[in-house]
Amino acid sequence: MIQQQNRRLNKQDYKTLTLAALGGALEFYDFIIFVFFAVVIGELFFPANMPQWLVLMQTYGIFAAGYLARPLGGIIMAHFGDLVGRKRMFSLSILLMALPTLAMGMLPTYQSIGIAAPLLLLLMRIFQGAAIGGEVPGAWVFVAEHVPYKRIGIACGVLTAGLTVGILLGSFVATMINAMMSMETIRNGGWRIPFFLGGIFGLIAMYLRRWLKETPIFIEMQQRKALAAELPLKSVVVNHTKAVTVSMLLTWLLSAGIVVVILMTPNYLQTQFGIERVIALKANSMAIISLCVGCIIAGMAVDRFGASKTFIGGGSLLAVASWTFYHSATNVDLLFMTYSIAGLCVGVVGAVPYVMVRAFPAEVRFSGISFSYNVSYAIFGGLTPICVTYLMKFTPMAPAYYVLALSVMGILLGIYLRNDLRATDSIVEHSDSELEKASVTAS
């Protein structure tokens, strides 16, 4: 048992990780490509006489709608994922993402159909949000129940890095389109290209996932008829309050790092500091590459040192790196270096799924993670762009203060996990045995 728990990842583990991460990257691209063209979309889907800050806020409001729709889609897919299988829902989420993305690329603008244009855009974002709500928790559960127990951290870190590759792909496509096309060409139809690509990527990802196998834990639960006897979500809310609270706070930290530092910052650099869009997008691509590396490092660290030390150290580095980056953003000579370091430190979020996967027993694991992650992301991830945009009316350093505050929260969570050992044990101990058994079964 101990030898199997400590073994290295084998060929089958790497195959599962690769297919899960690649599919997740393609689906994540579909979900976030919107934000890279937020300025252009705002100009095309809202009246021309609106103030720029109001157009941007409403555009980010439509972006936020995708986050607000995540809990419903995530809870429904997680419910069936806990009852009929992880793989089925893991594959279904891809199709539910690809079709709305294709539709967004074909939507008429405000000039053509008036107020119906932003309403249709809003509807497509809601469909996308419902799909991604089942994707991310499902991916974490899927890989954690396949790999050895002592390698959950690195597996979740690699998968999270894979998901961020979707952001990198979005940044790359946006950079290429901005470099190859004039702004006028982009307004006249160039902005549609990344959405068409996204729909195709989604269909490819759905095909790839047919090669994945159901998790050993779910198969074992089916065989011994140990699936949730009551509504999984009810069990989560009633019996696992502490796990839900910790998971939601960690998701808030994750959302601050991803949404503010990675997704919002390219437009922020352009509008606040006048940095050329191509330079801002190239710097953003470097930051995302660093983020991928940081997620893997965080996964390795949490396996070796535990969640407490990882979040204390990672939160401290994120606070310093992000503060330095935003306060030196006007220096183009330092932009690539400081942004890359900030992206690397955002990688501490790669340790978040480690805690969340261990927080819930197998019977309700998918539902527990999905509820905590999606509700928290809907509240904090969805409202963060609106909140930060509003605060920038008072100070251009609003993103720096927001990330700093969440970094401090991450440090406090690490201290809490270190000092309250009994609380820590109660969060993770009841799911350890299932994960340990799975590592042996999968081997």
pLDDT digits (tens, 9 = 90+) for 161-205: 888 888 788 878 888 888 888 888 888 888 899 999 888 877 887
Between 356 and 80, the higher pLDDT residue: 356
Contacts 24+ apart (CB under 8 A), 264-273: 264/35, 264/385, 264/388, 264/399, 265/339, 265/399, 266/36, 266/171, 266/174, 267/35, 267/38, 267/39, 267/56, 268/399, 269/329, 269/335, 270/39, 271/39, 271/56, 272/329, 272/392, 272/396, 273/329, 273/330
Per-residue pLDDT of 204-249, as tens digits, reads 877 777 777 766 666 766 555 545 555 667 777 778 888 899 999 9
Asked whether 287 and 261 are in contact (CB, 8 A), the reply is yes
Q: Which residue has the tokens 């583990």?
A: 13
pLDDT of residue 226: 47
- End-to-end Cα separation, the chain, in angstroms: 10
pLDDT of residue 320: 95
pLDDT band at 53 (very low <50, low <70, confident <90, very high): low
Please state the rounded mean pLDDT for residues 36-52. 77
In the predicted structure, residue 84 carries a pLDDT above the cut 70: no
Give me the amino acid identity at 163: L
In the predicted structure, residue 440 carries a pLDDT above the cut 60: no
Rounded to two decimals, what is the model's pTM? 0.78
pLDDT of residue 2: 38
In the predicted structure, residue 428 carries a pLDDT above the cut 50: no
Distance CA 136, CA 75 (A): 12
Between 208 and 288, the higher pLDDT residue: 288
In the predicted structure, residue 119 carries a pLDDT above the cut 80: yes
Four-CA torsion 128, 134, 136, 139, nearest 10 degrees: -130
Distance CA 306, CA 351 (A): 9
How many percent of the chain have pLDDT more than 70? 83
Asked whether 302 and 354 are in contact (CB, 8 A), the reply is yes
pLDDT of residue 309: 92
Distance CA 312, CA 296 (A): 17
pLDDT of residue 294: 95
Q: Please give the domain boundaries of the chain with CATH numbers for all domains.
A: 2-442 (1.20.1250.20)
pLDDT of residue 82: 66
In the predicted structure, residue 407 carries a pLDDT above the cut 90: yes
Structure tokens given for 145: 């129940």
Q: How crowded is the C-beta side of 285, counted as CA atoms within 13 Å?
A: 14
In the predicted structure, residue 3 carries a pLDDT above the cut 50: no
Please state the rounded mean pLDDT for residues 19-31. 77
